[in-house]
Structure 1
Amino acid sequence: MADTLWVYLQGFLTLFIIFDPIGNVPLFHAFTSSFEAQKKIKILNDSVKVAFIILAVFAVIGTYILDFFNISMNDFKIAGGVLLFIMSIEGLLGKEEGRWMNREDVAIVPLATPLMAGPGSIYTVMYLMQPPNGPLVAFFAIITNVILQWALLRSSNKLMKVLGRAGSTIISRVMAFILSAIAIGMIRSGLVGAYIGG
């Protein structure tokens, strides 16, 4: 029972760190600062719906895409680990946001993708679909993270008052550092698997 709970928790935390929901709060606030409350809610709802659909689709058919292109899971672990490591470095250095300020289409780009359902998140849900995790763990991670992201962004005004931009930035940088460690682990796992498998 404890092992099962840990698998679910680990799946949730892995996607949570990549989602960086707290780090996305100031971005969402900046992107939508000129919109009225009703417009902000519509943007938020649209972004989480699109992010969920993207992640769910790749969770289900992602392995078929790999098979079609003759890419092994070990290859994908290595590539995904490198990608997540690059994302972690970018997270440590900060995110570019100015060009997206107050645009009408921010619900899809960049909120839904790449901030929520970006390459790192897509790789992670495909990774979570594999043993010892599986579909239940993957979809648990997707659903809980999407709901949590919605709740945090829904409260972005209040959170910005509590955390401030500096507090949110600090949390985001710490999560980026943790993500870099996860990325190294994925790369190592892929290299070991490729070596053993020949």
Structure 2
Amino acid sequence: MRSFWDSFIMLFIVLDSIGNIPIFYSLTSNMEESSRKKVFAESIIVASALLIFFALFGYSFFQYYNVTFMDFKIAGGLLLLLISLEGLIGRVEAETLRSEDVAIVPMATPLLAGPGSIYVVMYLSTVYGVLPTLLSIALNTIIAYFILVGSNHIIQKIGKNTILVLARIFSLLLAVLAVSMIRSGLEDALRQVLKGS
């Protein structure tokens, strides 16, 4: 139980489902309620699959393809930056978005199953074992789904105009997060180069 509890808490903090609520809503704000729930469900399923995969085969995958966490950070950051810039300048209209446009990228990855959560499940699998890690992934992703679905009723009461303003604000915050991920990845790469020289 201690192993499960520790792994659950650590993954819950890294997934940050509550912190992702505004960003997720801004990406789906003009969708119908049923479509929004479908997008949330798809993103949770894909994120769960990714986390389970990396919990079981993460180290083997990284070694085989010679991929590093800094690669994940830089690629995920660039992806988020492009999406946030489109949101800021208003080029992405929800009417033109299909559920698969946002459910997998950026919602499932890199927002939920990003470099941080991937690293954590690999770490948890090594330290606490596979079973506690898989249980914590299952429980955390179920909780994340209900948090996201339940948040719609609260945010909808704010009003459409307020949502439009918030969408721009959170697109800016998403851009900041993206730049932070890119910077962190580049710093890791620079440290590795300096260490090797």
Task: Calculate the TM-score normalised by the size of structure 1.
Answer: 0.63
**Deviation per residue, 1:36-55 (Å, 9 max, x gap):** x5x75455435423332233
The answer to whether 1:126 aligns with 2:118 is yes
Distance 1:55 1:99, change over 3 A: farther
- Give the deviation of 1:194 after TM superposition: 4.4
What aligned pairs does 1:80-159 form with structure 2 within 5 A after superposition? 80-95=72-87, 96=92, 97-101=94-98, 106=99, 109-119=100-110, 121-129=113-121, 134-135=124-125, 144=140, 147-148=143-144, 150-159=146-155
Is the contact made by 1:92 and 1:176 (CA closer than 8 Å) also made in structure 2?
Answer: yes
1:25 aligns with 2:33: no
Gaps of 5+ in 1: none
* Aligned-partner Cα distance in 2 for 1:58–1:42: 24
Is this contact kept in 1: 2:54–2:118, CA < 8 A? yes
Contact 1:85 1:179 in 2 (8 A): yes
How do 1:1-198 and structure 2 match up within 5 A? 15-16=15-16, 20-31=20-31, 33=32, 41=37, 44-69=40-65, 71=66, 76-95=68-87, 96=92, 97-101=94-98, 106=99, 109-119=100-110, 121-129=113-121, 134-135=124-125, 144=140, 147-148=143-144, 150-162=146-158, 163-197=162-196
Q: What percent of counterpart residues are identical?
A: 15
CA contact (8 A) 2:48 2:141 kept: no
Deviation at 1:189, TM superposition (A): 1.9
What secondary structure does 2:30 align onto?
A: helix
CA-CA distance at 1:197 after TM superposition: 4.5
**What CA RMSD, in Å, does the superposition of the two structures yield over aligned residues?**
3.8
- Kept in 2, the 8 Å contact 1:58–1:126? The answer is yes
Cα separation, 1, equivalents of 2:194 and 2:121: 22
The number of aligned residues is 174
In the alignment, structure 2 segments of 5+ residues that lack a partner are: 1-5
